Structure 1
Amino acid sequence: MHRHLKLGVLAEARYLEQSQPAGLIKELEARGHAITIIDPQQNFYLMGNDDWFKGQDLLIGRGRSWGLLALLNWAEAAGKTTINRQGAISAVHNKAQMSIALASSGLPIPQTYLGAIEQLAGSIAREAYPIILKPIFGDNSRGLLVVNSPEEMRGIDWPEPVALAQRYFRTDGYDLKLYGIGSDIWAVRKPSPFNKIADGAESKEGLTDLTPELQDLGRRCGSLFGLELFGVDCIETEHGVLIIEINDYPNYTNVPDASSHLADFVERRATEVAQS
């Protein structure tokens, strides 16, 4: 039996109506824990005044706005435990930093380039197309653009000085998502935002078999970035499973009893903090 906890949930307004953190909040409250919701955009804070997180056993962050990251950093500087840590969220928010870390660690990713559009157009081999362009600080698939040729690349008016360019693989219409809660991993297939599912095809959406290889891949990604709650976007290709992106604290779509698993993890972490 866990003692009743005082927990702060830092969440941007756009996330509060989503399945997470709403499901976790509901589950924690059902277990008798006191939850304080902290929206960085709905309050102001005096530097040096820690009253906004005093008395909290730990803080849970859902979002990646600059305000939310600043508050996580503030709490951590005062010795508070946070899930996820500010540095871990920032490392996957910056897609270039994330891709560099994945490539340097030998984890499987598509060919990925970084540069100004004119340099990418003149340097990427024609046979590497199609290419998908990504903003450095993209979020929820916003700003993604599939480019089919060097000529098309040259005509793009990209809004940023540089772009992340990744070889694009057509699939059967589904992406593979690995969800992580601590060391526990689930594998889920979900419709791709770019690859059309064949008309009349039987749905492959939902929980799928977690092989030892996928479990290891998910755990390595979480460990690499120091993430405790995370998702790994993958595609299945003739070259094997390739990692497209890592996300902090996702919605855990199609993970059975996700909110209960999340609440269990939060309780365990709070117990570890109390005993440390």
Structure 2
Amino acid sequence: MRICLITPRPDHPVLAATTALLTPRHRIESMDPETEGDGAPGDPAVPGPLADVYLLKARTPRALALARSFEERGAPVLNSAAATELCQDRTAMAGLARRAGLPFAATRTVASLAELADERDLPYPLVVKSRHSRRHDLVTRVDNVAQLRALCSRWAREPVVVQEFIANSGWDHKLWAIDGRIFAALRRSELAEGGRGPTLPLELGDLPHGWQDLVRTVGSVYALDVYGVDVIDAGDGTPLIVDINAFPGIRGQRGAPEALAALALRVARRP
């Protein structure tokens, strides 16, 4: 089989380990979406024969355009360009969750942070996030109007989503899925006092009842095969989804490279 990684970082730990598992019997290639193709952002066509499957671990506009070009030619891409793009728009993400009945944090969209700062009687504390998920985007807790206005010095024009801050332990449950297999860890929330802390192992048996099924339902709703779901315990084991990510890092999870390798081969062999 010929398997191609769409990523600027084929040395990422999960991808590197997956490549090592597949290399003895299969041909593994990688392409950096920012340098492949004809250089046109909207038409990054790459000529030549298609791979049997593409793994999309990138989410820039060129990466998505490249993935779509392969899909249009009939090649399978994990995750699809459409599913990956959906997870970058927090407004669309929340809307789909609401329609599907998922326990997603109540979310409203504001055209800019400056417009939000002009609103009166906001119910602090708030969670404010960039509408469009990307590296180094805005994700923060805001406790008062002074903090909100201070953020405007950098982010005034940023389209944002606003969520109520739900009191919790300060730990995010990082739940990942690869083709229905669940992995889990605890990570100190970036919204907690002191900021993001270490990631700690978490046995699946320690998850509240129903959480694994919830993660699998997310995959079905969002048409994702490799994804992450950030969940907080809103009290007595009640889950509240605060974010969904297409093809996250899944670092340090025993069995993750094996699951990803098996998924790639299963899809590549699909007639």
If the TM-score is normalised by the length of the shorter chain, which range does it land in? 0.7 to 0.9
Quote the residue 2:47 is aligned against.
51
Find the aligned partners of 2:105 and 2:36 in 1 and give their Cα distance.
42
User: Do the aligned partners of residues 17 and 167 (structure 1) sit closer, same or farther apart at CA in structure 2, a change above 3 Å counting?
Assistant: farther
User: Do the aligned partners of residues 144 and 71 (structure 1) sit closer, same or farther apart at CA in structure 2, a change above 3 Å counting?
Assistant: same
Shift of 1:204: 8.2
Quote the residue 2:56 is aligned against.
61
Quote the residue 1:200 is aligned against.
none
User: What is the root-mean-square deviation of aligned Cα atoms in Å?
Assistant: 2.6
Find the aligned partners of 1:191 and 1:253 in 2 and give their Cα distance.
15
Quote the residue 1:168 is aligned against.
165
Amino acid at match of 1:221: V
- SS of the equivalent of 2:177 reads strand
User: Do the aligned partners of residues 256 and 118 (structure 1) sit closer, same or farther apart at CA in structure 2, a change above 3 Å counting?
Assistant: same
Quote the residue 2:28 is aligned against.
35
Shift of 1:167: 1.7
Shift of 1:143: 1.9
Quote the residue 1:244 is aligned against.
242
Amino acid at match of 1:215: Q
Equivalent pair of 1:133/1:145 in contact (CA under 8 Å): yes
Find the aligned partners of 1:266 and 1:123 in 2 and give their Cα distance.
48
Find the aligned partners of 2:214 and 2:94 in 1 and give their Cα distance.
15
Amino acid at match of 1:110: A
Shift of 1:101: 1.2
Find the aligned partners of 2:114 and 2:45 in 1 and give their Cα distance.
48
Q: How does 1:1-276 map to 2 (within 5 A)?
A: 5-12=1-8, 15-30=9-24, 32-45=25-38, 50-52=46-48, 54-115=49-110, 116-117=112-113, 119-121=115-117, 126=122, 128-140=123-135, 142-154=137-149, 156-157=151-152, 158-196=155-193, 205-208=200-203, 209=205, 210-238=207-235, 240-271=238-269, 273=270, 276=271
- Name structure 1 gaps, 5 residues minimum: 198-202
Find the aligned partners of 2:54 and 2:20 in 1 and give their Cα distance.
16
Of stretches 157-166 and 117-126 in structure 1, the one that deviates more from structure 2 is: 117-126
Shift of 1:140: 4.6
Deviations 1:202-228 (A, max 9, x none): x98212324551111101111111110
Equivalent pair of 2:227/2:247 in contact (CA under 8 Å): yes
Find the aligned partners of 1:233 and 1:206 in 2 and give their Cα distance.
15
User: Do the aligned partners of residues 67 and 190 (structure 1) sit closer, same or farther apart at CA in structure 2, a change above 3 Å counting?
Assistant: same
User: Do the aligned partners of residues 48 and 21 (structure 1) sit closer, same or farther apart at CA in structure 2, a change above 3 Å counting?
Assistant: closer
Equivalent pair of 2:171/2:187 in contact (CA under 8 Å): yes
Equivalent pair of 2:179/2:225 in contact (CA under 8 Å): yes
User: Do the aligned partners of residues 154 and 194 (structure 1) sit closer, same or farther apart at CA in structure 2, a change above 3 Å counting?
Assistant: closer
Shift of 1:136: 1.7
Deviations 1:13-57 (A, max 9, x none): xx3332232222222214x210111111223338696525x1411
Amino acid at match of 2:202: L
TM norm structure 2: 0.85
Amino acid at match of 1:182: D
Equivalent pair of 1:188/1:254 in contact (CA under 8 Å): no
Equivalent pair of 1:171/1:195 in contact (CA under 8 Å): no
Equivalent pair of 1:121/1:151 in contact (CA under 8 Å): no
Amino acid at match of 1:227: L
| Structure with a larger share of its residues in helix | 1
- Name structure 2 gaps, 5 residues minimum: none
Aligned residues: 260
Structure 1 runs (4+) greater than 6 angstroms displaced = none
TM norm structure 1: 0.83
Find the aligned partners of 2:251 and 2:168 in 1 and give their Cα distance.
20
